[in-house]
Amino acid sequence: MVKAIVGANWGDEGKGKITDMLAETSDVVIRFQGGANAGHTIINDYGRFALHILPSGIFYPHVTNIIGNGVALDVVKLVEELKSITDQGVPAPKLIISERAQLLMPYHVLQDSYEEERLGGKAFGSTKSGIAPFYSDKYAKIGIQVCDLFDEERLRDRLTRAVELKNVMFRHLYHKPALDVEALFQQLLECREMIRPYVGDAVTFVHEALAQGKTILLEGQLGSMKDPDLGIFPMTTSSHTLAGFGCVGAAVPPTAIKDVICVTKSYSSSVGSNTEPFVSEVTGEEGDELRRRGGDKGEFGATTGRPRRVGWFDAVATKYGCVVQGATQVALTCLDVLGYLDEIKVCVGYEIDGQVTDRFPTTPSLMRAKPVFETLPGWKSDVRGITDFEALPEQAKNYVKFLESHIGVPITIVSTGPKRHEIALRQP
């Protein structure tokens, strides 16, 4: 059986905690897309961790963790992350790196930075982690797979061809120094030795695990709004953030995915640039207060440290996010954050050119959208750590039920704090 944990919104919904929780009863956890450009914050008995590329099942010795073929593999960051967790007392995890995964190269990071510099005021607000150039090369078929590291003649040939193209761009478009093929080749040989113990046939492993009745958890990065096809294009990431892509990026058959858990916060947040449409945004002192109280240590990106934009819960975007993910259930995080408020707004519609709609539009219309709010009473109390949904204040329970009625998917998990077991399960 395969379960997928994915984001309903812009990312930063708290997926890491939910994956960490469900990994306890799973056999395999697979990262199936994205790279080290975003992070999952996890707090457990070992401490506080910001994972960027390792699957969130690494804290359980019984779990086999897989970096799937859909991931942008930054070898250096992966090795650094492995060391950082074992240095904090976490036992060395069971890890398989798919031999079909492709390598995020140093020139991808350079190209990302150069392009943002070239765009100037029209930049996309990239994390400059090389993600867009990586996926561009992958689909242009000039990427380098992990398996290529173990065939030096093939590796040198593929690297040379890629660098020829990059150097034309670097010299003539960006006016930057040319790349050195030999230096890159030697770096790749070093990377090969760093990951050699972990490289394996993940495709066969996954299908054998399914045949044996194992429970597999797919872990997504970012959220529905950042999908390049169904999100707020072009202000998206470059890999598909939807559960359906797990069939490709983790090599599981579509018929195997039985449960899609969509994660959303009890308010909205986005680490994107200020040019992105973010209809329910709260600014000024009100926004600063929500940002300060939000998340585990305030609303700041786990990878970049950038202040996140914050807003009220957006039922229009979240309903759409759940629809395109195929959500079977929803996990609502950070309910404890809102306990200071007398009243809480929820965006239940968009006004676009004088018309009110509850359908999520394409980007040109989204840029013109204004929020339509309903206001609910707050509960004015600290609910952190409550694990019995019925023990929550009546206003808090009503808030959850109100959100559920607007997104149309059962909210079965309510997070009341950042720690692993600060969770209230409910029957809708």
Report which DSSP code applies to 245.
Answer: G
What angle in degrees, to the nearest 10, is found between the helix axes of 394-407 and 315-325?
60
Cα separation, 114 vs 10, whole angstroms? 25
Strand partners, 209: none
Q: Is 363 exposed, middle or buried (0-12, 13-18, 19+ CB in 10 A)?
A: middle
Active site residues: 12, 40
Cα separation, 272 vs 22, whole angstroms? 28
β pairing state of 268-270 and 309-311: antiparallel
**Quick check: helix, strand or coil at residue 199?**
strand
**Quick check: helix, strand or coil at residue 150?**
helix
Cα separation, 125 vs 339, whole angstroms? 32
Buried b (16+ CB within 10 A) or exposed e, 44-83: beeeebbbbbbbbbbbbeebbbbbbbbbbbbbebbeebbe
